[in-house]
Amino acid sequence: MFIIGIILITIGVIFSTLGALGLVRMPDLYNRLQTSTKATTLGAFSTIIGVGFLNPAWLIKTIVIATFILLTAPISSHNLARASHKWGIPLSDKTSVDKYDSKTGKEE
Amino acid sequence: MTILIWIWSIILSISIILVLYRCIKGPSLPDRVIALDMFTTITTGLLVLIAHFLNNYILLDVSLVYSLLAFISVIAIARYLESSKRG
Amino acid sequence: MNSSNYFSRWFFGFIVLSLLWLAFTFPFSLAELYTGLVVGAFISLFTAKYFEEFGISSFAPSKILGLLIYIPIILWEIIKANIEVAIIVLSPSLPIEPAIITAKTKLKSDIGKMFLANSITLTPGTLTVDIIKDTYFIHCIKIDKTDERYATESIIGKFEKHLRRFVK
């Protein structure tokens, strides 16, 4: 249990840092959402579950917190992506196609 | 054990500094909101780690409420952005 | 809206809220348990009319089993995709080819579409920007082909076949 907890927390910390690095390095908003928010989600998930393994009396509570983060993170990043696309944040120059813009005008 | 928790906390703090850099520099408002969202997620992990370090069960409830409030605030900002024009 | 239907929705809401409450206040005392049950029953009276796709039939063992099988699959996909994205972030040249592409789903119910959209968003590298009817607009960080059939097979296909076990 103890070893599993330490491994899980180490993985979580590494992914959190990679997510932060992605946030700084990526060229536009959508790619930042991709790399950062979700890498951090796995990072926090793994860290919290790892603490649960280190301290087995807390396991259920930590699973609840981790599941909560796992369920809410995609909703907020999806909402932010749609809002900023409608708000008019441009995509980076590397983007090959954007099929979303034309369709929204037609459907609404 | 204590030294490991110190190392983890310091690495997480460094990543929080990276996030704050984007929060200050970020060219547009949604960039800053993303940085804020990420900041709260990392802080939740750090809070749980500190709860283990201090052996304090109450901090787990704090981190749960903290992540809930962060989620609601990000949704509210996204809704506000969607209904307003850029300018 | 007939009454039995309404009761079954109320019962679903009551059970889900009570389980959630028990999980949140884990080392619970008896007083907390009663408070949670009463408040859960009260709240689900009001929310029952909005959750039209749920009912007692949602607790069928086959559906719960499908959900339980789905959890490790999605966790494995998240870990795989996270490693791919970590390699992209760490490589100095930043090899990204982002695009917003479309993909079609065969799922009919709103809850199924919600599960699929969240699964797509949770795996890094793909992000659901919007859903209009059965068309998903997905932002990909690195994609070779941008045509719709390829995207439908490669992104949606791997989740859809498992999701169809417990949602329509």
Q: Mind listing the pLDDT tens digit for each residue in C54-90? A: 777 777 788 888 888 888 888 888 888 888 888 888 8
Count the domains in chain A.
1
Residue spans of the domains in chain C: they are 3-58, 60-163
**Is the Cβ pair B75, A19 closer than 8 Å?**
no
Nearest to A36 by CA among B69, C85, B23: C85
User: pLDDT-derived band of residue C4, with 50, 70 and 90 as boundaries?
Assistant: low
**Is the Cβ pair A78, C85 closer than 8 Å?**
no
**Is the Cβ pair A23, B22 closer than 8 Å?**
yes
Residue A100 lies in a domain: no
Residue A60's CB: how many other CB atoms inside 10 A?
13
A97-106, C49-58, C108-117, C146-155: which has the minimum mean pLDDT? A97-106
A88: left (phi over 0), alpha (psi -120 to 50) or beta: left
Q: In this predicted model, which residue has the larger pLDDT, A18 or C49?
A: A18
User: pLDDT-derived band of residue A23, with 50, 70 and 90 as boundaries?
Assistant: confident
Count the domains in chain B.
1
Distance (Å, whole) CA C114 – CA C119: 9
Q: Mind listing the pLDDT tens digit for each residue in C135-144? A: 888 888 877 7
Mean pLDDT of chain B: 87
Q: What is the ipTM of this complex?
A: 0.83
Residue A86, domain extent: 2-90
- Is A10 part of the contact surface with chain B (CB cutoff 8 Å)? yes
Residue A98 lies in a domain: no
Which chain A residue has its CA at the smallest distance from C27's CA? Answer: A61
- Is B40 part of the contact surface with chain A (CB cutoff 8 Å)? no
Residue A8 lies in a domain: yes
Segment holding C94, helix H or strand E: none
Residue A108 lies in a domain: no
Which chains lie within 8 Å of chain A at 3 or more CB pairs, if any? B, C
Residue A97 lies in a domain: no
Question: Quick one: DSSP state of residue B42?
Answer: H
Query: What residue type is A22 in one-letter code?
Result: G
* pLDDT higher than 60, residue A25: yes
Averaged pLDDT for residues B26-38: 86
A75-79, A99-103, C50-54: which has the minimum mean pLDDT? A99-103
Q: Mind listing the pLDDT tens digit for each residue in B35-71? A: 888 888 899 989 999 998 898 888 888 998 999 999 9
Please name the residues between 15 and 74 in chain A that touch chain B, using a CB distance below 8 Å: 16-17, 19-21, 23-24, 29, 32-33, 36-37, 40-41, 43-44, 47-48, 51, 54-55, 58, 61-62, 64-65, 68-69, 72-73
